[in-house]
Amino acid sequence: MKKLKIGITCYPTVGGSGVIATELGQLLAENGHEIHFITSSVPFRLNKMYPNIYTHQVEVNQYAVFQYPPYDIALASKIAEVAEREKLDVLHVHYAIPHAICAILGKMMAGTRMKIVTTLHGTDITVLGYDPSLVSAIRFGIEQSDAVTAVSEALVRQTYDLIRPQKNISTVYNFVDERVYRKREAGHLKQDYGISEKEKVLIHVSNFRAVKRVPDVVKAFAKVRAQMPAKLLLVGDGPEMTVVSRLVAQFGIEKDVLFLGKQDRLEELYAISDLMLLLSEKESFGLVALEAMACGVPCIGTRVGGIPEVITDGVNGYLCALGDVSDVARKAVRLLEDPGLYAAFSKACEKTVKEKFYSRNILKQYEQIYEQTVNEV
């Protein structure tokens, strides 16, 4: 395939959409494409030097006349500047609002033939899609993009239901870098955290927003803890943290719940974990579940959004109804008490990642989409 000049816009701070955009940029660069990140800061997962990756920072100035800083206009202007100067073939924007709109505006300002690919990640549809003041803008962004993808079949369906765009949306699943997320020796970390060998380790990773239902994670864990020695690792931070820490105190399980805050090297935490809990009420994909599975850690998730496309119930993990913490605990104990069943699930997790979400295959799908749009008149 012809090597392309590809711009990438995403939210560069913590979050699954930013992670996918950055990992994709790195894989594309390794495949010989020239990558230009156009973002408000350097993406947090961009931690290796590539001679063919460039970053362009969007500067948002605050003037007294503005009630709100004009990020959208600044981004569109930066897109126009980079598209024109670097002669970008494609701009791939992650998250519809405002990125798809800014891409369209930037392209018009630059007057180039650059193609726009938009990837929908989840809350840009499942939360913002309920806001009547945004629906037309989201629909416009989707319909004016040259190609649109979503990270699960469920998200494609929800987009048609909520936004009703006249546009083909294809599913391109998320992926992980298998060189980082793989089964590895735990080393001393479990001991360093003061967790004994006989204790099982459950893990939850999120941005602690209400949709993640972290209180359900704590409730399910309390039930597991009543039946076996176990610890819960809570990784991440966000608005629900106060509620969650109060609940932990209320259950009297402070000694067994470790609040680790935001962490970079998740693969090391998965190496000491036995089970991931993802009990969200909205989840278009659940990238953290895939990361854990790539490390051989099965996941219990809610039967919500795209989670059932990642977890196959009874094969590589379990699915439960939203809020049914008793069922979560029952299934967790069943899995953790049966070494044969656990080994089979853990192996199935690795197989799923290699077969259904293999990064090279996902990369190829994006490359085909770019090539197709570039060749369209």
Verify binding: residue 23, ligand GMT, rule CB under 6 A: no
Return phi, psi of residue 175, to 5°.
-150, 170
Question: What residues contact residue 330 under an 8 Å CB cut-off, 6+ apart?
Answer: none
16 binds ligand GMT (CB under 6 A): yes
Report in angstroms the alpha-carbon separations of 298 from 98, 117, 126, 215, 348: 35, 33, 26, 20, 9
Positions in 263-292 near ligand GMT (CB under 6 A): 282-287
Of 10-18, 194-202, 248-256, 323-331, the segment contacting ligand GMT by CB under 6 A is 10-18
Nearer to ligand GMT, 211 or 275 (CB): 211
User: How is 301-352 classified by DSSP, letter by letter?
Assistant: EES-TTHHHH--BTTTEEEE-TT-HHHHHHHHHHHHH-HHHHHHHHHHHHHH
Least distance in angstroms from the C-beta of 174 to ligand GMT: 5
Q: First and final CA of the chain: distance in angstroms?
A: 18
Measured between alpha carbons, how far is 97 from 313 in angstroms, rounded to an integer? 33
Query: For 72, phi and psi rounded to 5 degrees?
Result: -60, -45
Q: Which residue's Cβ has the minimum distance to ligand GMT?
A: 122
**Shortest distance (Å) from residue 122 CB to ligand GMT:** 2
Selected range binding ligand GMT among 70-78, 207-215, 224-232, 261-269, rule: CB under 6 A: 207-215
Interface with ligand GMT by CB under 6 A: which range of 14-22, 314-322, 335-343, 353-361?
Answer: 14-22
CB nearer to ligand GMT: pick between 287 and 353 = 287
- Token readout for 302 is 């809610």
Considering the complex, what minimum distance in angstroms separates the CB of residue 263 from ligand GMT? 16
Residue 174 binds to ligand GMT (criterion: CB under 6 A) = yes
Binding site for ligand GMT (CB under 6 A): 15-17, 20, 95, 121-123, 126, 151, 174, 207, 209, 211, 282-287
